[in-house]
């Protein structure tokens, strides 16, 4: 803006504007070259990191696939196994609790030994 308001002839003014424009264009080219160079560096670093992550992910995927194949080939289902273990624990606890109840009943009341045995047998058959 200062060039436009300076007291100069038209030819001098146009020359000054051309010089400033040329300098600005040269600086812009320099900055563009620097930015392009840095972008190339960033691209290379990013490409290397992406390749590393890809290799890691591929390894993990292979490991998981191997585990899944092993589980399928063994014929075991973790959910089924967990359910069976839960059922077994329930039955054991129920048997222990029922046996304890029968002992309490026989010791606190006058129940014949024959009735206790029949009740125990009936309880086991219901399980």
**Higher pLDDT residue, 55 or 115?**
55
C-alpha radius of gyration, the chain, whole number: 44
Same domain, 70 and 23: yes
The terminus-to-terminus CA distance of the chain in angstroms comes to: 99
Task: Assign 37 a pLDDT band (cuts: 50, 70, 90).
Answer: very high
CA 28 to chain centre: 45
Tell me, what's the pLDDT at 63? 79
Domain with 106 in it: 77-127
Same domain, 11 and 59: yes
For helices 113-126 and 78-108, the axis angle rounded to 10 degrees is 170
Least reliable range by pLDDT among 28-32, 46-50, 53-57, 116-120: 116-120
Domains contained in the chain, number: 2
Specify if 83 maps to a domain: yes
Find tokens 């329930």 and name the residue.
90
Specify if 1 maps to a domain: no
**Higher pLDDT residue, 5 or 92?**
92
Same domain, 106 and 45: no
Specify if 85 maps to a domain: yes
Same domain, 67 and 122: no
Mean pLDDT, rounded, for 108-114 = 55
Q: Please say if the pLDDT value at position 104 is more than 60.
A: no
């Amino acid at each position: 803006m200062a060039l436009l308001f300076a007291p100069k002839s038209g030819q001098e003014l146009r020359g000054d504007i051309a010089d400033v424009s040329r300098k600005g264009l040269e600086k812009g080219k320099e900055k563009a070259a620097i930015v392009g160079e840095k972008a190339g560096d960033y691209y290379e670093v990013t490409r290397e990191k992406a390749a590393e992550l890809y290799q890691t992910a591929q390894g993990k995927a292979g490991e998981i696939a191997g585990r899944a194949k092993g589980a399928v080939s063994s014929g075991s289902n973790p959910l089924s196994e967990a359910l069976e273990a839960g059922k077994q624990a329930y039955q054991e606890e129920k048997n222990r609790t029922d046996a304890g109840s029968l002992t309490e009943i026989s010791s606190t009341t006058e129940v014949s030994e024959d009735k206790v045995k029949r009740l125990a047998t009936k309880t086991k058959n219901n399980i």
